[in-house]
Structure 1
Amino acid sequence: MRNSKTIPFFIVLSLILIQCKKEHNVINLLSAPDNWRKETITFPLSFAKSLEHKGTEYVRFAPGWGKQGSEEFFSYAFLWYLDNDPQLSSNRLESELEMYFDGLMQVVSNSDEDSAEAIPKAKAFFEKVDDHSYAGKVITYDAFTTKKEVHLNIVATYNYCENTNKHLVLFKISPQPIDHIIWDKLNKVNPNIDCI
């Protein structure tokens, strides 16, 4: 009897260790401190299928991302590592990020049927800073934590990587103003890729 209880415990423990190893070995092209959680998602994105990109999204979340009241709340970066030229413009960024956040918040809210129907549409505003960067804001619903509207400041930068023949669009996001210390941390999150 004692052995029958011991064997399942070791099986469960082995499965947990294998899963942790798999998660640890997932390559994420964004360099960030080890305590920044990471995700990798392949296009088409399940929550925003109308974004017609081909490639991968790499995400890094500040440790306080999901903690209301934290100075790092909703602060994160994501990289679109694309096969296709995204042909960025202020209008295109506005349109695509509205689709992105509308889809994301709708998927998260579907688990909460009371709020799913009341989600306001995202509004995005961007201005071109130079040939490679844009600054803007997205006003969206926070379906994850507060269940309220959140104003996200966003900096988007574009680069073409000749070494890999990929198009890189890096988004850095926080509700904190640009002069807040979290932006010093976000500005250190960058693609770990050799590009000419």
Structure 2
Amino acid sequence: MNYSKTVPFFLILLLFIRCSNDNTSKNLLLAPDNWRGEIIEFPLKFASSLTYSGTEHVRFAPGWGEKDATDYFSYVFLWEIDENPQLSIKKLETEIETYFDGLMSMVSKMNLNLFKKLPKAKAFFEKVNDSVYVGKVMTYDAFTTKKEVNLNIIVDYKFCDELNKHLVLFNLSPQHPKHSIWKKMQKVTIDANCEQINN
């Protein structure tokens, strides 16, 4: 792993990761030990226009930051939020574009690319049923390759009675949906006593 490319990522995370010593600061996503985890509070510093209250839980595949790894840029994140997100194709497209534009802009500035104009993210979704959407986002990898990257996405929504929260689960990878990494991401489970989200 090239640590010169990953260190800025950790510096950025220090700006907006929830830091707490109490017992409530746990990642709700259960994954193997080599899947790094992060917990981020809403409102997200890089996408403050996403006006949710709650927490984002993240799990990164082991090769997430390695451009030649088969699991490069493959990860799972969960929005555990108070508000009903009232998902739709249009809303998902807008929010994912906002999310990645803000994230990549922040990362680029932290890497001192203050004046570099980044390509805008473009997302496309299709509705599978009332809780599942599949799509793609074309964005920019400001972390590792400094090139554009196309990520396939599966989104799964449900309300969890146990947590009294709305849960939106995102699985993302540039790999084709039939690639083995998707089976690995689907094994990242939610640590809560409510019906499990399954893709």
TM-score normalised by structure 2 residue count: 0.84
For the pair 1:146 / 2:145, whether they are aligned, the reply is yes
Q: 1:41 is paired with a residue of what secondary structure? A: strand
* Structure 1 moving runs of 4+ over 6 Å: none
Higher helix share: 1
Q: 1:176 is paired with a residue of what secondary structure? A: coil
CA RMSD of aligned residues (A): 1.4
Whichever residue aligns with residue 109 of structure 1, its letter is S
**Residue in 1 aligned with 2:121?**
122
**Residue in 1 aligned with 2:55?**
56
User: 1:116: how far off?
Assistant: 4.7
Q: Return the alpha-carbon distance in structure 1 between the equivalents of residues 86 and 155 of structure 2.
A: 13
Q: Return the alpha-carbon distance in structure 2 between the equivalents of residues 193 and 56 of structure 1.
A: 14
Q: Return the alpha-carbon distance in structure 2 between the equivalents of residues 90 and 43 of structure 1.
A: 22
Q: 1:130 is paired with a residue of what secondary structure? A: coil
Q: Map 1:27-106; keep pairs closer than 5 Å.
A: 27-106=26-105
Gaps of 5+ in 1: 1-21
**Residue in 2 aligned with 1:137?**
136
User: 1:115: how far off?
Assistant: 6.7
Alignment length (residue pairs): 173
Once the two structures are superposed, residues 68-115 of structure 1 have per-residue CA deviations (whole angstroms, 9 ceiling, x without a partner) of: 110010000000000110000111000000000000000000023447
Segment of structure 1 superposing worse, 156-165 or 101-110: 156-165
Indicate the structure (1 or 2) with the bigger Cα radius of gyration: 1
Q: 2:103 is paired with a residue of what secondary structure? A: helix
Gaps of 5+ in 2: 1-20
Among all aligned residue pairs of Structure 1 and Structure 2, give the percentage whose two residues are the same amino acid.
58
